[in-house]
Amino acid sequence: MALFMKRKIYVLLFAIPVILTIFLLRRYFINEFISLQDNPIYFVENIPPNEYIPIHSFYIKGPLTFQSEEPNDRGQKAILYQGEGAIDLYHIEKLPHPSSLGKNIQTFYTFSFGVHADVNTMAYLLIRSSNGVKVWLNDEYIFQSKNMNRSFEAAFSDFITLPLHNGVNNILIEHINLSEELVFEARLCNRDYFLTEYGRKYTGLIGEPLHLTDTFYFDTNHRKILNVPVTLSIQDISGKNVFEKELSEKEDYLLLASLKEDATYMCNLQSEGITLRQPIYKGDPDKIWKAIQTKQHPEMNAYAYRIKALLEHESRQSDWWWRFKIASVLFEADLVSQKNSREYNFAHTSGICFRSYKSSLDSCDQHYLLILPDSVDIDSSIPLVIIPRPFIDNQHHFLISPQMARYWSLTHAKALANEYNYILMMPEARMYAHEDLVPMAAAEIINSIEDVKEHYPVDESRIYLQGNCSGAYRSLSLLSQYPGMFAACALYSPLNSWGYKTKFQTIEWVNNQKPENLIPYIKQIPLFIQYDELDMHNPYITFKGLIDKIQNSQDEVTIIGEKHSGAHYNVLLVGENAFEFFKNKRLTQEMKESSPFLNTAVVADIFSQPYLFVYEKGNEHATQYITHVKANYEKNFWNKFPVCQAEDITKEDIETKNLILIGHSFRNELLRTLMSETGLQIKNNSLFINNELKATSVGFQIITKNPWNKNLDIVVISASDPRLFNRLDREPWKNGLLPILLLYK
C-alpha cells in the first residue's frame, strides 16, 4: 500500500488567469520499492548517492522564465530550460541501471507531483525519455506511450492533455525502464508552448505515405491529442485541392482510394493554432520517378542523384523512414519538373529542397540543401542561416551524406525555419571527410550564398553561421576569413583544433588556422556557444581552453551548458538556442569594416578562383601524374576534371584563370612566353628563379604571379629530374598547404 507525504513548492506557471501550484510528492512503497532519500525515484534496489544525479530545483526569474537554482561545478548556471509558458518538472541525466539485477531485469520508476488550480482548466504535459511511460491523473489511468521500447528522442515523444479540476490534482508517471540507463524529462506547459513543440515533432510526419496502398495511417491520433477540430486536406502537384475532411477522435487512418495512382501530393493538417505539411505519394515510387524524369529541367540533376540512390538502397526493405525520404524528394522533383526554366519555388513546396548552380571555379555542378519557411514573401527580406557540414567518418556524395539521410533531422530544421522565419542553407562546398576548411571549400560556400541571394529575398544584414562539432570549427575558420558577411555565429561543442591530430600538425598554415588563433579576427562578432558536459563524442575538456579564451576576448558571447543536448546536436542540423540568439542580431558597420584573417600563401589558394590544369602531351611523367590527379579529383568531387593539353590553351584561359602547369617545358608559344616572364628556369637539372640557383635534382611546386594578370596566380608543379614526378602531391587543392616554394628530394 502506498503512503504519501506532501511538500509544497509554489510556482507561478502561466500568464493565464489561473494560478497553478506544483507539489512534489514523495512516494513510499512498502515491501515493493526502496526510496532514495528525498529523491522521488524508486525501484527495486537502492543506488548509492554518488551513482545518480539529483533532480534540480527551480525558481522563477521574471514572470515566465524558469531556471535551475543550482550552479554547476564551473560556477555557471546549469540552465535546463528557460522560456515562456513552461517549466521543467524532472530532468534526469542517465541514471544507471542497478548493475546487480542484470541487463534483462525491468526496473520501474515513479514520478509524482501535484498541481493546484483555482478553477477547472487545461494544462499540458510533455515527456521525452528512454523507453515509454504510463500516466495517471487523480487516480485515473489516462495515457500510455505508443512505443514503450523507444530511445531518447530530440523532440518530445509524449503530448498529454491534463484536464485539471479546481483544487489539488495528483499526477503520477510510471516509467518502465527497458534499457541500461534512464534519461527522462517532463515539462508542464501552456497551450501555446504545447502547440509549438507539437509542430516540431510532427512537421513532415503527419502520416505514412501511401506505398502501394489506399490507406493513409496517421503517425498519431492528431484529433485526440490536440483536442480541438482538425482538418486534413490534400493537394495534387499543381496545388489543386483533391481531398478534405474533418477528422474524428476515432480515426487512426483514412482510405484515400479516390486519389490518382502513382502520383505525388502535399498533405496539410490544420487546427487551431497549428498547420503541418508533409509531402506524400500514392503508388509505386519507381513508376512515379520514371514519369517525372522524362521532363528535363536544370534543377533535376540533384534530385535524380538522390532518388536513384534511395530507390536502389537496401534500406528500402528495412527502414521505416525510407518512405518519408523518398516521398520528400519525389514531390520536390515533381514540382521542379512542372517549371519551364530555372525558376525557384515560393509556394506549395515542402520547404526541404536541393538546389544546383554552376561553380565559378570550374563550371561544374554544385549543390546545397535549402530549407524554407512555409511562406516566403518575395517583397520582404528573410534572415539566412549557413550550416557548414561537420567531418564525416566515410566519404559520401553530399546528396547521400549522413546529414541528408536523417529525415527527422531535416523536418526538425524545417519546423524551426517555420517558427523563426529563417531560410537555412547547407552547402556541398567540396568537402570530403576530415580536411580543414581549405580555400576551395571556403570559396564554394560563398558561391552558394550568392546563389541563394540571387533567387530569394535574403536580408544581407542578417546572415548567420551555425556549426556543430567540427562544423563549428569550420564555421570559425570561415568567419575569420569573411568577418564582414556574418551578423552572428553559433557553435555547438566546437572542436578545438583540426591539425593537432593529423599529419599536417607541423605545418604553419594549419597551426595559423587553429580556432584559438582566429579569435582576434572575430572579437566584434556576437558568438553563441553550447556544450553538454555529458557529451563523450566531443568532451567539454577538449575545448574548455577555447571557451575560456573567447570569454576573455569576445565583445559579445553567450555560453550555455545544457545536459542531454549532446545526444542530438551532433545529428541535428540546427538548434533552437542558436536561433533565439540570432534574433535581432544585425551586421554593423564595424563588422563590415573588419580586417579578414590572411593566412600564409600556399598552393591551395590557387583553387579559390577559377583554375585550369595544363600539361604537355607526350611528356610521359607529366601525363602519368595528371592521370592520378584527375582520378582523385573526379572521385572526390564527382565532377569533370578541369584540364587541357598545352597545345589547346588560349590567351583567354591565361588571362582569366589560375593555372596549374604540370611540367615546365612547353612547345606552345603562349606558354613559353608566359614562363619566360615568370623568371622560372630549369638548366642542367637545376632550378633557377630569377637567375638564382635554388636546388638541383628536385621535384618542386612553386607559386608565382601571372605576369599577364596580376590578380591571378600560376602554380608550376614539376621536376628537374623526371623520375621525381612520383613524389609530387596528387591532391594539391586539399593538401597544398605548404609554402610558396616546396622542394621534393
**274: which strand partners?**
271
Residue located via cell numbers 525502464: 177
Task: Flag whether pLDDT at 527 surpasses 90.
Answer: yes
pLDDT at 19: 40
Task: Name the band, by pLDDT with cuts 50, 70 and 90, for residue 78.
Answer: very low
Task: Please write the tens of the pLDDT for every residue from 437-467.
Answer: 899 999 999 999 999 999 999 999 999 999 9
Lowest mean pLDDT among 325-339, 404-418, 524-538, 557-571: 557-571
Cα distances from 741 to residues 153, 377, 661, 701, 736, in angstroms, run 52, 52, 14, 6, 11
Chain-wide mean pLDDT for the chain? 80
Task: Name the band, by pLDDT with cuts 50, 70 and 90, for residue 48.
Answer: very low
CA–CA–CA angle 225, 229, 235 (5° rounding):
100
pLDDT at 303: 93
The H or E element containing residue 560 is strand 557-561
- Which is higher by pLDDT, 42 or 575? 575
pLDDT at 423: 96
385: CB partners within 8 A, 6+ apart: 422, 423, 424, 425, 463, 464, 465, 466, 574, 579, 582
Residue 343's closest CA among 455, 457, 459? 455
Overall average pLDDT of the 15-22 stretch: 37
Q: What is the largest CA-CA distance in the chain?
A: 100
Residue 366's closest CA among 305, 310, 291? 305
Sign of the Cα torsion 325, 330, 331, 337 reads: positive
Burial of 146 (0-12, 13-18, 19+ CB in 10 A): exposed
pLDDT at 688: 81
Task: Name the band, by pLDDT with cuts 50, 70 and 90, for residue 538.
Answer: confident
pTM for the full predicted model: 0.85
The H or E element containing residue 463 is strand 458-468
The CA R_g of the chain, rounded to the nearest whole Å, is 30
Residue located via cell numbers 529563417: 422
Task: Flag whether pLDDT at 660 surpasses 80.
Answer: yes
The Cα–Cα gap between 445 and 364 comes to 14
Lowest mean pLDDT among 316-325, 567-576, 664-673: 567-576
> To the nearest 10°, the Cα dihedral for 412, 533, 386, 515?
-170
Lowest mean pLDDT among 374-378, 515-519, 523-527, 599-603: 374-378
pLDDT at 152: 84
pLDDT at 51: 31
Task: Please write the tens of the pLDDT for every residue from 194-232.
Answer: 999 999 999 999 999 988 889 999 999 999 999 999 999
Task: Flag whether pLDDT at 614 surpasses 50.
Answer: yes
| HSE, side-chain direction, 13 A CA sphere, residue 290 | 6
Burial 325-361 (b: 16+ CB within 10 A, else e): bbbbbbbbbbbbbeeeeeebbeeebbbbbbbbbebeb
Lowest mean pLDDT among 18-32, 335-349, 694-708, 730-744: 18-32
Highest-scoring range by mean pLDDT, 56-60, 212-216, 341-345, 727-731: 212-216
pLDDT at 85: 59
Task: Name the band, by pLDDT with cuts 50, 70 and 90, for residue 642.
Answer: very high
The Cα–Cα gap between 278 and 411 comes to 9
The Cα–Cα gap between 182 and 503 comes to 41
- For residue 294, the Cα-to-chain-centroid distance in whole angstroms is 33
Overall average pLDDT of the 321-336 stretch: 94
Task: Flag whether pLDDT at 552 surpasses 60.
Answer: yes
